[in-house]
Copies of this chain bind each other. A is one copy, B any other.
Amino acid sequence: MNYPLYSDEFFMNEALREAEKAFDEDEVPVGAVIVSNNTIIARAHNLTETLSDATAHAEILAITSAENYLGSKYLGDCTLYVSLEPCLMCAAATKWVQLGKIVYGASDPKAGYKLIGKAVLHPATKVQHGILEHECGGILTKFFQSKRKNK
């Protein structure tokens, strides 16, 4: 299928091509591209099996690749095209990079970020806090105090 150049469908089709690569590699087929000024600056597909890394989602890999390409931690002028609604991890990653826009294809009612409001952690994960709280907070305070002094 040919789509009009630079249309959302055009770029989503590129994300879908990445998903197809994942499919061929026996990975859950999700693909992503990141676009800046109508140019694809990063493309990736899910590699959780290949890398034995459950965090190696298409979006995370594409974001890291785009940051490397631009030499910047921020992707404010970029659009992420991704074939599936991002999960909470990937959604939160887009917040850290201050992503300009997300365009996704299929919705993910089971693990999509729109589930926010329900439990984020795995049900089997226990949580504890406060261990060396003073020291752990203190080094942060010290860091930001030194930042302010140097301004």
A residues apposed to B, CB below 8 Å:
8-9, 12-13, 15-16, 19-20, 23, 28-30, 48-49, 51-55, 60, 63-64, 67-68, 71-74, 76, 81, 83-85, 87-89, 91-107, 113, 116-117, 120-122, 124-133, 135-137, 139-140, 142-143
Copies of this chain, count: 2
Q: How far is the CB of A14 from chain B (nearest CB, A)?
A: 10
A148 to chain B, nearest CB (A): 14
CB-CB under 8 A from A63, the residues of chain B are: 55
Please measure, in the bound complex, the distance between the C-alpha atom of A102 and the C-alpha atom of B129, giving whole angstroms.
8
> From residue A120, how far is it (CB to closest CB) to chain B in Å?
5
Task: Flag if B107 contacts A140 (CB, 8 Å).
Answer: no
A100-B126, A102-B127, A143-B29 known; A132 and B60 CB under 8 Å? no
Q: Specify which of B99, B126, B132 is in contact with A9 (CB 8 Å cutoff).
A: B132
Q: Which residues of B contact A125 (CB under 8 A)?
A: 94-95, 98-102
Q: Which of B8, B16, B67, B96 is the one whose CB lies under 8 Å from A52?
A: B67
A96 to B9, Cβ gap below 8 A?
A: no
A98 contact set on B, CB distance < 8 A: 54, 122, 124-125
Closest 5 CB pairs of A and B: A105-B136, A89-B92, A106-B137, A83-B136, A88-B92
